[in-house]
């Protein structure tokens, strides 16, 4: 089952295709690199050469949100970077909890880039008593039985699931009932959730299988 379709809407309620949405973080990352290198402005042609996306595609993508470019000038890098951050919701703090405090959950909690991009991990949860009470980069691991109480005191819309296949669906349903609206799902299972709940699947085993297919198909 594919990830649920996510519709982003601009001010005029135009539906943005999932393919465009997938490219937005790449634009944000490349524009951030340009800013670090003190680049003030860039044309769609120059940006296309860096991103390996056609200049026409870049213009079409950005026109979904208003364009942002000026004829004969191109794009102001800082302005476009800031606007892209707003489109992605990075101008607001996004509280995140992690379900599963094993190796993968701890690795996510240790990633400083999330906080730099406005994703604040405020709690990890696990059933293992040996993990409960420890901290990862200052974030406490709670007993999973404390979920309801924790969510009643903190506004959380995003949950990362690094749980076994057998546990993830039940926990996800419970989280939806507690108000969570989006899931970053690392569990190797598809989640059957209400249509208004957003799921972004990151199935690591499927990804490496795809890589295996591609390398073997080239060499055969």
The binding site for NAD(+) consists of: 100-105
Q: What is the DSSP string of the chain?
A: -PPPP--EE-TT-PEEPHHHHHHHHHHHHHHHHHHHTT--EE-HHHHHHHHTS-HHHHHHHHHTTT---BTTTBEEHHHHHHHHHHHTTTTS-EEEEEE--SHHHHHHHT-HHHHHTTEEEEEEEES-TTTTT-EETTEEEEEGGGHHHHHHHS---EEEE---TTTHHHHHHHHHHTT--EEEE-SSS-----TTSEEEE--HHHHHHHHHHHHHHHH-
Binding site, residues? 100-105
């Amino acid at each position: 089952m594919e990830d649920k379709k996510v519709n982003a809407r601009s001010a005029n309620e135009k539906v943005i295709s999932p393919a465009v949405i997938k490219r937005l973080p790449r634009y944000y990352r490349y524009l951030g690199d340009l800013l670090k290198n003190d680049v003030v402005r860039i044309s769609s042609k120059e940006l296309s050469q860096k991103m390996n996306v056609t200049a026409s595609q870049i213009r079409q993508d950005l026109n979904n949100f208003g364009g942002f470019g000026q004829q004969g000038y191109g794009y102001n890098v800082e302005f476009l970077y800031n606007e892209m951050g707003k489109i992605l919701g990075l101008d607001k703090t996004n509280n995140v909890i992690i379900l599963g405090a094993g190796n993968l959950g701890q690795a996510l909690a240790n990633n400083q880039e999330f906080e730099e991009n406005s994703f604040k991990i405020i709690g990890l949860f696990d059933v293992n008593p040996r993990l409960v009470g420890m901290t990862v980069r200052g974030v406490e691991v709670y007993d999973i039985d404390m979920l309801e109480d924790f969510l009643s005191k903190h506004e959380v819309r995003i949950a990362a699931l690094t749980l076994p296949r057998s546990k993830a669906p039940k926990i996800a349903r419970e989280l939806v009932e507690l108000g969570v609206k989006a899931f970053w799902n690392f569990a190797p299972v598809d989640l059957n959730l209400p249509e208004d709940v957003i799921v972004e699947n990151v199935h690591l085993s499927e990804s490496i299988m795809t890589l295996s297919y591609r390398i073997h198909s080239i060499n055969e």
